[in-house]
Structure 1
């Protein structure tokens, strides 16, 4: 990713890239479904045996505790140190800024078509909003980590690169902490009132009708776009929902899926996000949902293996400071040198693209979009234990809370069961508030919540790690960029529209699974197609 010279802060990532899946950062199975039989804050009960994502793809495609998490040196790409600067004696056709999944997929597509490409990444690693680290003897994900049905691009790429998947554990009792009161339940129905259930059933039906009106490529062209973009989700919630339980549903979904508050996003953006993610139920479920499977060895491997194939074209620790356009191409000034090419792809979030110095101002819509699409706010925590005591007690490891430091919690045990773990998230305002505390204070608060949920054994992890994405200078938050009222209708068309010789990728520009790793891949392929077509057109015109 790239940052401007003024960046001083040190935190996200996933989903995208979610993203903590950031998306990529893509996670959260807080609720399962809303229908006449099954509504509320439930988190997915498997009703029938199913194949893992990897099995389906194979058929479709012939401590902080005692130690901080560490990267496995054997897995790390050393493309910059082991190889010369790709500009040395070699002219370029395209420079790609950002070595997350979007940038790497764009670069690989272009290289396969014969283009000469350099990838500039500000971090000392590839992967963007995915981040896999060793903790307590196992590889954990501190960024995006999940994959689910209909994420065919991500599944196919993982299969091609030999990255296996395994099911997310979710069997057992689930926990709901509402107003500090803890309750557990086995079925799909948490303890919410009949009024709340009825409101959620009607809300689900209403939202599905809304989604049918939204074109995924241009939500701002929906018939009611101006109306929906003229209010926040909070405004709509207060106007249409009366029960505390139904309002809690909306709050938790917004925090868990978008890592922001209902007051932060327009109703149009929220509905568009549901449209891009194939509906509310798929976004928030484990079985048959976006949290269905995880990657053996971590999600960052996908980017690392792509980068290995692109070496020596990937330059690490190469933040881009300035871009200058001229009649024949672009000049990109980075910490590692000056790069020249006919075209450039910015595969970074809009908020980061807005921090680059452009010799000539970008078009007004693009410039103002970058100032109006901040990243969500999330801190991710993983605790590794000797035993999966929550499973032994009959719990799935899932918990939802509207108070304290945690919002959603999941079982994060390794694929072989040898390294039991829990993962939890501070989302939205909770992340903003706790980002101002020390890491020791956050650790103490998280473990106190785990003790409240699962008992005294939760107080003694053998390893503990966190990632504060709100403080990451190369992401500025996670999982995904969000927009408030008036932004999509006024500036949305600038998301993917090239600005002269500058093209745009990144999960924020996706039209399917926006905010997730799959969306990042789609955006990289789309940007590569645009640039490749333009290179051919300009070559014919010479």
Structure 2
């Protein structure tokens, strides 16, 4: 042990990270009779899913918050632990605030007509066609894999259309889903992600799609239930500083504890993996994958009001904003009983870079101006105003998920995506084939990692 370490723990499997991936891994292992310890750097579980109560008593989700009908694993866990959901509010007219300040109210998924809409719909239909060719289990087997991965999303979009309004709509879609700019993300990764989630509409829309419902007690309620079921196996405030493979297994060092185990599962975002010193060093492919996987840039800002006043005016609170506004998308995030009104504003990518550099007052003024354009002047007078700027968050360093830069899949995907590195296995939503980037994907990745470990332990006679 290092001089600071005061205790040693022997177990069969050590799991690094207590987000949904790590907790699911541990839960599955424990259920199979495998002794497991979970080490979490933060003082809470849930990872990129985190809810908190505001001063006025409203619970808000700072990270991942929605669940869709086809996210079956998440639904199964929620049902298992009795965590209730309710439909996302979408009743009333949505708003589009265009670059020139024009406001357009509409019903349904998007305005029927407007600048760039026809070209936008043509290109997004093409995205769905191409996404249907993706091999989710062996992405490198996809037709035109190398060609698509050599392009950024912006390269592809500009090759398809020179309509700047359509390009702005496509850019907001990239920002909203990946918290990145079109120039930054591999076009193949966009196609893979669309295929993983069931198509463009599934990712973008509300009812029956990815934003269908929310959790009454916050989206981390299931994570807390999982952690409770694991009891003392979950150790908070224990950042893994190094992970060493030895002749006898693995050793995870946190600075105050060393955990010795037969196998390890690392269930943190790729962008966080470089904070851990591995011995021996990770394979070149895994290191390359990590370095091609930056975390998205996003802030969620909640403004709380005495009541959801926009509803009485026939407005849904859902909006998209173009132009100079720091805010890209707005949703009604009021509690199920509407005892308070809540609007949540999303600040993405380059907008976040500019907005986050402002003073507290400047940031607040920018967001409230956007909310006032969406919901009326009353939106400028909240009773609570809460920002969560994810790139400033200690152990997460961004949100909601990592994305692949051009060339990342081609150079490192086959051996670096989720292939174990000796006794070290990988979990996390970025390693999922279905609902990659979402909570459901994190859960499935934990199930896969647990199955890998159970098989490996059984193969050498260390199970059952």
TM-score, normalization: structure 1?
A: 0.81
Partner SS, residue 355 of structure 1: coil
Measured against aligned partners, the alpha-carbon deviations of 1:324-380 in whole angstroms (never above 9, x if no partner) come to 111220111113311100100000011111221112211101111111100000000
Matches within 5 A, 1:139-150: 139-150=59-70
Aligned to 1:527: 449
- Please state if 1:92 is matched with 2:14: no
- Please state if 1:431 is matched with 2:352: yes
- Please state if 1:464 is matched with 2:362: no
Measured against aligned partners, the alpha-carbon deviations of 1:64-87 in whole angstroms (never above 9, x if no partner) come to xxxxxxxxxxxxxxxxxxxxx9x7
- Please state if 1:406 is matched with 2:299: no
Aligned to 2:27: 108
Measured against aligned partners, the alpha-carbon deviations of 1:303-328 in whole angstroms (never above 9, x if no partner) come to 11111111101000000001111122
| Structure 2 runs not aligned, ≥5 long | 1-5
Measured against aligned partners, the alpha-carbon deviations of 1:107-139 in whole angstroms (never above 9, x if no partner) come to 010011111110000000000011111112121
**Aligned counterpart in structure 1 of residue 173 of structure 2, from 223, 228, 253:** 253
Aligned to 2:440: 518
* Higher relative contact order, chain-length normalized (CA < 8 Å, sep 6+): 1
**Aligned CA distance change for structure 1 residues 470 and 541 (closer, same or farther; 3 Å):** closer
Preserved contact between residue 120 and residue 170 of structure 2 (Cα < 8 Å): no
Q: Distance in 2 between matches of 1:410 and 1:541?
A: 48
Preserved contact between residue 128 and residue 194 of structure 2 (Cα < 8 Å): no
- Please state if 1:487 is matched with 2:408: yes
Q: Distance in 2 between matches of 1:174 and 1:255?
A: 19
Preserved contact between residue 270 and residue 290 of structure 2 (Cα < 8 Å): yes
Deviation, 1:183, is 1.6
Preserved contact between residue 95 and residue 106 of structure 2 (Cα < 8 Å): no
Aligned to 2:147: 227
TM-score, normalization: structure 2?
A: 0.95
Preserved contact between residue 505 and residue 523 of structure 1 (Cα < 8 Å): yes
Stretches of 4+ moved more than 3 A in 1?
191-194
Deviation, 1:212, is 1.9
Deviation, 1:541, is 11
**Aligned counterpart in structure 1 of residue 364 of structure 2, from 420, 427, 443:** 443
Partner SS, residue 242 of structure 1: coil
- Higher mean displacement: 396-405 or 202-211: 202-211
Aligned to 1:393: 313
How many residue pairs are counted as aligned between the two chains? 455
Q: Distance in 2 between matches of 1:470 and 1:280?
A: 26
**Aligned counterpart in structure 1 of residue 237 of structure 2, from 317, 320, 327:** 317
- Please state if 1:121 is matched with 2:31: no
Deviation, 1:101, is 0.6
Partner SS, residue 181 of structure 1: coil
**Aligned counterpart in structure 1 of residue 298 of structure 2, from 378, 383, 391:** 378
Measured against aligned partners, the alpha-carbon deviations of 1:404-441 in whole angstroms (never above 9, x if no partner) come to 11000000110011121101110111112222223332
**Aligned counterpart in structure 1 of residue 227 of structure 2, from 303, 307, 314:** 307
| Structure 1 runs not aligned, ≥5 long | 1-84
Aligned to 2:420: 498
Measured against aligned partners, the alpha-carbon deviations of 1:165-220 in whole angstroms (never above 9, x if no partner) come to 000011111111121423222334526448x3432343233222211211012222
Partner SS, residue 96 of structure 2: strand
- Higher mean displacement: 292-301 or 384-393: 384-393
Q: Distance in 1 between matches of 2:463 and 2:326?
A: 59
- Higher mean displacement: 429-438 or 461-470: 429-438
Q: Distance in 1 between matches of 2:312 and 2:164?
A: 33
Aligned to 1:78: none
Matches within 5 A, 1:54-453: 91-135=10-54, 136-188=56-108, 189-190=110-111, 192-193=113-114, 196-402=116-322, 403-453=324-374
Q: CA RMSD in A?
A: 1.7
**Aligned CA distance change for structure 1 residues 240 and 256 (closer, same or farther; 3 Å):** same
Preserved contact between residue 92 and residue 107 of structure 2 (Cα < 8 Å): no
Q: Distance in 1 between matches of 2:360 and 2:412?
A: 38
Partner SS, residue 241 of structure 2: strand
Q: Distance in 1 between matches of 2:303 and 2:460?
A: 54
Q: Distance in 2 between matches of 1:94 and 1:211?
A: 37
